[in-house]
Amino acid sequence: MEHSPHAVPTPCIGICALDRAGVCTGCLRTVDEITRWRTMSRPEQHHVMQHALPLREQLRQSLRGSLAEHERLLRALHPLDQPPPGDGWNRSELIDLLPPGPPVEAAVLAGIIPREGGAQVLLTRRTDTLRHHGGQVGFPGGRMEPEDRDAVAAAIRESDEEIALKPDQVQVLGYLDPFVTITGYRVMPVVAVIDPAFVAVPEPGEVAEVFEVPLSYLMDPANLHHVEIDHRGRIRHVLEYGWPGQRIWGATAAILYNLRRRLEQTA
């Protein structure tokens, strides 16, 4: 197998080259499986090799062809080997409101789920008691930690922690443009296809609800509105969707707007 800067030695194949989701490009084992391989029992190893890995390969192949927008998304997104630079496409709008100092690096997973009735975007509503952005709708994600290889690793780690989305349940496609928040975060949105069989298990301390919204609804300009809010005594204009029962606005709406604009440029 090829060598990787993130190579993990393994007993059965030699060197595993990990993809951006933390899954070996050759044997398809996850980092956790590779790490625990020597301590697994023979039945556990047999189950992984004879059952888990074939199903994982079948899932990968099905995800490649299950999303009608797959090829168009690939054209619209920044490639995984070319993360977009810059402070954030919206920074000029917030320049006089940002806190001093360098931004905090963060990443979110903009997950798209293929459904029979059309693609759905996975969103979460944060627990009301959270100190920052409590009760707000957003994508799974958070600040990057020192152990994260890149934004993809951070987005997938946070998604696992928040809603139990595992690395082998996603196919990462690429990046949107970085976005800066008024709280001083530089957010890198990672777009991925999610296994339709995935069942979210919200972490109650962080996530109150997980729900889906049709991609077609979010990509329709008629559904996105400019609204005025009072921020520290100043009037600001932010984006908001009128989705029933949920307020999808602010940074989340802006990231979805960025996705729409990039898709429009490839039409």
Main-chain dihedrals φ then ψ at residue 231, nearest 5 degrees: -120, 110
Q: For every one of its 267 residues, what pLDDT tens digit does the chain have, with 9 covering 90 and above?
A: 344 444 444 545 567 887 766 778 788 888 778 888 889 888 888 888 887 788 778 777 766 666 878 889 999 999 888 899 988 777 767 666 666 778 889 999 999 999 999 999 999 999 877 666 667 899 999 999 999 989 999 999 999 999 999 988 998 999 999 998 888 889 999 999 999 999 999 999 999 999 999 999 999 999 999 887 766 666 777 899 989 989 999 899 999 999 999 999 987
84-128: pLDDT as tens digits: 998 877 776 766 666 677 888 999 999 999 999 999 999 999 987
Cβ within 8 Å of residue 93, ≥6 positions away: none
Check: CB of residue 121 under 8 Å from CB of residue 128: no
Structure tokens that stand for 5 in this block: 């800067």
Beta bridge mates, 231? 234
- List the end-to-end C-alpha distance of the chain, in Å, as a whole number: 38
Strands (E), the chain: 8-10, 14-16, 104-113, 120-126, 137-138, 141-143, 170-175, 179-180, 185-194, 207-214, 224-231, 234-241, 248-249
Q: Which domains does the chain have, with CATH numbers?
A: 8-66 (no CATH), 70-266 (3.90.79.10)
3-state secondary structure of 131: coil
Structure tokens at 77: 């997104």
Distances, alpha carbon 22 to alpha carbons 99, 128, 188, in Å: 34, 32, 18
